[in-house]
Amino acid sequence: MKLYKKLKTFLNQPIDIAPLIYARIILGLLMTIELAGGALSPYIKTLLAGDLHFSYSFAPFIKPWSEPILMYAHFGIIFILGMMVVVGFKYRFACIAMFVFSFSMFLMEKTLYINHIYLYCILFLVFAFLPADRAFSVDAYQNPKLKSSTIPAWTVYCIIFQLSIVYFYAGLAKLNIDWLHAQPMQLWLANKINHPIPYLGILLAHKSHAFLVAYGGIIFDLLVVPFMLWKKTRKITFILAVFFHAINAITFGIGTFPWFSIAATALFFPPSVFRNWWIFNYFDKKLPQKNTILFRYADKPKLYQNFVSTFFILFFILQFFLPWRAFLYSQDPSWTEQGHFFSWRMMLRSKKGTTTFYVSDAKSDKKEMANPSQHLSYRQRRKMYKNPDMILQYAHFLEKFYKKERGYTEPIIKVESQMSLNNRKPQLFIDSNIDLTKQKRTWKPYKWVIPLTETEYKQDKK
């Protein structure tokens, strides 16, 4: 009971609102640029192309808009809502609407899964319950009664906690045999040999650099949070974080995520820093004076307090335990893909191989090889070939297609697939004797996925 009281006191202690305003503006802007920027990138082309769009098993009903203008309008609304959050206009509505529009966009196509896009979506939902519009916002300007200079500490800590979850699971997932052999990094970095900056490509593609990145990534992901929490190591750790994420931006791109990570990691500094650093002086002039107006959730109706408390408890229970499912499957998630999504497993696998679909009719002698390029975009095909659940979805699509378009009475869909994981020698991926039209999508392990048995890596080319 004493521990609970201490924790409650710690979480509800009043702190300066400055870091929360900083988070709303800087993080909100970076997230909005990335989410709305999909309209200007190949992202939207994948949503508009193809006859089939791969869905998540928990949301098969969410599909891209049928008309391009509606899809572009969806991205336009995301941009407007994101900017409303940034400037603090109709803030609560904008956050919730931004989550709905961005997360629905995210769920429209499984082959477009990106960890940080998922992170951005759920952070907008988190922001909906934070008093980030209580200063330096349109809402506070229009209604001065909203203004606050002080907020409960947990409103900033919950952003830090979500970021800590990402770092922790990203580091934990790297503790596997392939990563320790730097196999994924060697494959990813080998493609950087032709970097436009002279000699940089040779450095990036060198084997020793792959090991440096692999082990540096483990150390950074697992230690950055405790070292940022410790005052004595906070400054040097932040400098290393800036360097780490800047290198990622140069090497891999990854959209706004490296810059978002730098900006979010700054939230580990004390609230006073966001008024004292010269770079934040502009905020200090625009924010209410420190310790002048206190915002307290305790002043809100009891029903609202209980709702917010329940939301965050359930939200963080889900965020903390959802990634653990990747460790509950007997097979490597990098091979089966089960448990890979929503688990902060980043850049852990590279698969190469062939996947061929054979269609026959149980009621006739019709037989042919399916042509995925007839139905899917290049990105969809490239992702689908390596993912059993997507292979199954496409097989179900082919069953309907061959019944309707080719006159098959009872299509049988079988797959022959050879796959190499992280530079291993290729091995059988899918049981070629199984008719996939008889298989159902499930969260349970797919028995028709051949277990990973190949352990030997291909020899490096001399």
pLDDT in tens, 379-430: 999 999 999 999 999 999 999 999 999 999 999 999 999 999 999 999 999 9
Q: Give the pLDDT score at 163.
A: 97
Tokens of 207: 């084997």
Q: Give the pLDDT score at 281.
A: 66
- With contact defined as beta carbons under 8 Å apart, do 379 and 46 qualify? yes
Q: Give the pLDDT score at 305.
A: 86
**Which stretches of the chain drop beneath a pLDDT of 70?**
198, 278-286, 291-292, 298, 459-462
Q: What is the CA radius of gyration of the chain?
A: 25
Q: Give the pLDDT score at 323.
A: 96
- With contact defined as beta carbons under 8 Å apart, do 385 and 417 qualify? yes
Q: Give the pLDDT score at 284.
A: 63
| Measured distance CA(178)–CA(437) in Å, rounded | 33
- With contact defined as beta carbons under 8 Å apart, do 413 and 399 qualify? yes
pTM of the model: 0.94
Instruction: State which H helix or E strand residue 365 sits in.
Output: none
| Measured distance CA(313)–CA(154) in Å, rounded | 12
- With contact defined as beta carbons under 8 Å apart, do 156 and 27 qualify? no
| Measured distance CA(330)–CA(310) in Å, rounded | 33
CA 236 vs CA 34, 189, 443, 444: distances in Å: 29, 27, 43, 45
